[in-house]
Amino acid sequence: MLAELDRAVSDCRACPRLVDWRERVAREKRAAFADQEYWGRPVPGFGPPDARLLIVGLAPAAHGANRTGRMFTGDRSGDVLYAALHAVGLANQPTAVHKDDGLTLYGTRITSPVHCAPPENKPTPAERDACRHWLADELRLLTPTLRAVMVLGGFGWQALLPVLAEAGWTVPRPRPVFGHGAHVELAAAHPDRRPLHLLGCYHVSQQNTFTGRLTPDMLCTVLDNAAKLAGISQAG
């Protein structure tokens, strides 16, 4: 069950550097959040277990998801992402502030290839590889309904391709190249799988959204396309 996987992810301590960092950040805190108790643990995926669309990011932010315990919740990247999800009818509200804020996603789940906040948002290749099995298990559990994956940024794209191959889809050679708006349909390599749409989108990092490299319109266009390819009935 996906809920069991989420619980198991939250208890993982496989990467010493990341365990040390996530817990240190949780102890030291940012001044603005000094009165809050940080999560300080791995952040599991968020969204229904029968999602048709999976959004894959990079890793939790130190003072965002590592503080609140929910993907993209409590930081500027999440502000942009959830506003767009709401705009295209995939979320019931445009904001994500804390775990109990009533946010619900429709047909959509959000996860990351690395579940612990890394220093400078940069996990090492060894940490990415250590975390891979969680993503592979998540994909397997979502298989009955999953029809599309939207990847935010090149790191997630590179991390995801081998997992997709391992989890039962055919990844073409040469490997599809990441880009904003990239779209490729992966054939099933296993009788239990259905073809899967893979879409690329620039990451919702402040580096991209503050500079205009990724605008809300650009994000909404890819999200809307992903939702339609996944066959989700969008609200609104």
Residues lying near ligand SF4 in the complex (CB under 6 A): 9, 12-15, 18-19, 42, 114-116, 127, 130-131, 134
Tokens representing 110 are 């959000």
Minimum CB distance to ligand SF4, residue 111 (Å): 11
- For residues 67 and 74, is the Cβ–Cβ distance under 8 A? yes
Q: Least distance in Å: CB of 174 to ligand SF4? A: 28
Q: Which is closer to ligand SF4, CB of 56 or CB of 218? A: 56
Considering the complex, state which of residue 45 and residue 74 has its C-beta at the smaller distance from ligand SF4: 45
* Residues 6 or more apart in contact with residue 107 via CB below 8 angstroms: 48, 50, 51, 52, 53, 90, 227, 230, 232, 233
Q: Which is nearer to ligand SF4, 162 or 176 (CB)?
A: 162
Distance in Å, CB of 151 to ligand SF4, minimum = 18
Q: How far is it, in rounded angstroms, from Cα 181 to Cα 151?
A: 10
Instruction: Tell me which residue has tokens 């893979």.
Output: 198
Q: Which is nearer to ligand SF4, 106 or 134 (CB)?
A: 134
Smallest separation (angstroms) from ligand SF4 to the CB of 68: 17
Rg of the chain over all Cα atoms, to the nearest angstrom: 17
